[in-house]
């Protein structure tokens, strides 16, 4: 199986996936890392591991679909059959989602369906919940939505600050995403 990882930022989840592939936990190849941001640190992580990268600035495109079609060309060249979004800060077009239905995974730092959107950790913290967590799901046409693959709770203690909660959530992400990818790669979880 050939995996593409889509990123826009730091890429700590990309690193966790890379490590799991290197350890043989995920039996697949990361054939491409796609980014809409040329300065994303995730790209440095990919290059350090000699993984091919493809950067495409969305600002140069008049529509989401036109942008996605350029990316699809690159995915097809490499026979990508699983796409893992790892901090990719863009919505995919319905065209893309239909084409890869059941083959796109995302990680979100809350217990979906609550606290969707860009600030899942902060929103949960500010709401004063006692439990939040991490969700890995298949992607459908709605934002942060689609069949849930795995979820893990993280408790919010009175002593937690936003920063300590972020740390706890990210730690769980780096364990959960490789496990969920493994389960999809092995055919144990299907859309
Ligand atoms: C993670 O919190 C992930 O859940 C969210 O974006 C963040 C990406 O972080 N979708 P990183 O770039 O993997 O470090």
Q: 3-state SS of the chain? A: CEEEEEECCCCHHHHHHHHHHHCCCCCCEEEEEEECCCCCHHHHHHHHCCCCEEECCHHHCCCHHHHHHHHHHHHHHCCCCEEEECCCCCCCCHHHHHHCCCCEEEEECCCCCCCCCCCHHHHHHHHCCCEEEEEEEECCCCCCCCCEEEEEEEECCCCCCHHHHHHHHHHHHHHHHHHHHHHHHCCCCCC
Entry pTM: 0.97
The pLDDT, as a whole number, for residue 75 is: 98
pLDDT in tens, 17-36: 999 999 999 999 999 999 99
pLDDT in tens, 92-138: 999 999 999 999 999 999 999 999 999 999 999 999 999 999 999 99
Query: One of 108, 119, 145, 174 is an active-site residue; which one?
Result: 108
> Is residue 120 lining ligand 1, measured as CB closer than 6 Å?
no
The pLDDT, as a whole number, for residue 12 is: 98
User: How far is residue 154's CA from residue 55's CA, in Å, rounded to a whole number?
Assistant: 34
The pLDDT, as a whole number, for residue 53 is: 98
The pLDDT, as a whole number, for residue 21 is: 98
The pLDDT, as a whole number, for residue 77 is: 98
Has 108 been annotated as catalytic?
A: yes
Q: Which of 13, 85, 146, 178 to mutate to test the pocket of ligand 1 (most atoms within 8 A of CB)?
A: 13
Q: Which atom of ligand 1 is nearest to the CA of 16?
A: 13
The pLDDT, as a whole number, for residue 101 is: 94
The pLDDT, as a whole number, for residue 170 is: 98
Locate the domains of the chain by residue range. Answer: 2-108+137-150+174-185
The CATH architecture that domain 2-108+137-150+174-185 belongs to is 3-Layer(aba) Sandwich (3.40)
Ligand 1 center–CA 171 separation, angstroms: 11
Ligand 1 center–CA 176 separation, angstroms: 12
């Amino acid at each position: 199986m050939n995996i593409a990882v889509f990123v826009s930022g730091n890429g700590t989840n990309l690193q966790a996936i890379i490590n799991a592939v290197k350890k043989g936990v995920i039996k697949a190849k990361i054939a491409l890392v796609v980014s809409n941001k040329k300065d994303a640190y995730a790209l440095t992580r990919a290059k350090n591991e000699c993984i091919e990268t493809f950067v495409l600035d969305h600002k140069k495109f008049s529509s989401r679909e036109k942008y996605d079609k350029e990316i699809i060309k690159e995915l097809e060249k490499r026979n990508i059959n699983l796409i893992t979004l790892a901090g990719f800060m863009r919505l995919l077009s319905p065209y893309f989602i239909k084409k890869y239905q059941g083959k796109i995974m995302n990680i979100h730092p809350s217990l979906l369906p609550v606290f969707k959107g860009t600030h899942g950790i902060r929103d949960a913290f500010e709401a004063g919940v006692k439990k939040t967590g991490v969700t890995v799901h298949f992607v459908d046409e709605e934002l942060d939505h689609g069949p849930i693959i795995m979820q893990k709770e993280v408790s919010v203690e009175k002593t937690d600050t936003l920063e300590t909660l972020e740390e706890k959530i990210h730690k769980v992400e780096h364990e959960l995403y490789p496990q969920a990818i493994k389960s999809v790669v092995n055919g144990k979880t299907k859309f």
